[in-house]
Amino acid sequence: MSELHLFHGSSVIIEQSIFGRGRSYNDYGKGFYCTESLELAKEWACNSDSDGFANEYLLETEDLKVLNLNSAEYNILHWLCLLMQHRRVRISSPVAQRGKEYLQRNFSIDLKHYDAIIGYRADDSYFAFARAFLSNEISYDQLSRAMQLGKLGEQFMLKSKRAFDCIRFVGYEIAPRDIYYVKRKQRDEQARAGYQADLERGDIEGLFMRDLIREGVASDDSRLL
């Protein structure tokens, strides 16, 4: 049996995650969003007003089919396509609308066969980076670099009833707001500062959304590796 240690940051203690709950417009749709990092869970648990809780779980993964968006067979555009399918995104230009349609045609993944998903967590910074790429403001390489900035986090999302049946609560740790909300802000600020520095350097030769659409770039294109 293979077990995975997971943590879920929250304002409350969650001893039992319930299948079918959650918002459909989260990053990958309805599910229970966790991380393998205790520190990140504590940061995600805190807001500016109160302490939070890092709930701890063990997940039996042996019989689960897991989609890892950060594995070699996928690229940032697969992640972005899923994000566009589930998150509420304000489309502000024709190129962004065409970009969204292009992603759906070429990088869509059928999630119904998977029990869990691993991928980036689209917090405020990452979501802003994704929108900038969709609107042709930054290149593919700039987006790829931006997703590494600040180490804002990878999440493990339980999606199927089978996955929910395989997780059990272990305990929790308190996340003090005066420590972890500050860390959360610092991490986000670090990512935004790195992103701004990359913008100032520019990427004249890079692949932009308009280029991808015009050339019909597919997921196996070597430039996306």
pLDDT, one tens digit per residue, over 156-190 is 999 999 999 999 999 999 999 999 999 998 888 88
Give the chain's length.
225
| CA 183 remoteness from chain centre | 19
| Contact yes or no for 7/35 (Cβ under 8 A) | yes
Give the pair of three-digit tokens for residue 61. Answer: 């993964």
User: Assign residue 182 a region: left if phi > 0, alpha if psi is -120 to 50, beta otherwise?
Assistant: alpha
- Cα separation, 115 vs 75, whole angstroms: 20
* Consecutive H or E run containing 174: strand 167-175
Q: What is the pLDDT of residue 163?
A: 96
Work out the mean pLDDT of the chain and round it to a whole number.
89
Does position 102 have pLDDT exceeding 70, yes or no?
Answer: yes
* Mean pLDDT of the 73-99 span: 87
- Cα separation, 12 vs 195, whole angstroms: 33
Q: What is the pLDDT of residue 98?
A: 92
Band (123; pLDDT cuts 50, 70, 90) = confident
Does position 90 have pLDDT exceeding 60, yes or no?
Answer: yes
Does position 150 have pLDDT exceeding 70, yes or no?
Answer: no
Distance from first CA to last CA of the chain, Å, rounded? 34
Does position 137 have pLDDT exceeding 80, yes or no?
Answer: yes
Give the pair of three-digit tokens for residue 90. Answer: 């304000």
* Consecutive H or E run containing 178: helix 177-201
Band (213; pLDDT cuts 50, 70, 90) = very high
Does position 136 have pLDDT exceeding 80, yes or no?
Answer: yes
Q: What are residue 118's DSSP bridge partners?
A: 68, 156
Give the pair of three-digit tokens for residue 191. Answer: 């990512």
Given the DSSP bridges, would you call strands 66-68 and 167-175 parallel, antiparallel or unpaired?
A: unpaired
| Contact yes or no for 139/208 (Cβ under 8 A) | yes
Please write the tens of the pLDDT for every residue from 47-63.
888 899 999 999 999 99
Sign of the Cα torsion 156, 140, 216, 25 reads: positive
User: Assign residue 151 a region: left if phi > 0, alpha if psi is -120 to 50, beta otherwise?
Assistant: left
| Contact yes or no for 142/200 (Cβ under 8 A) | no
Q: What is the pLDDT of residue 49?
A: 83
* Mean pLDDT of the 151-160 span: 86
More confident residue, 151 or 139: 139
- Which value, in Å, is the radius of gyration of the alpha carbons in the chain? 18
- Cα separation, 10 vs 46, whole angstroms: 7
**pTM beyond 0.75, yes or no:** yes
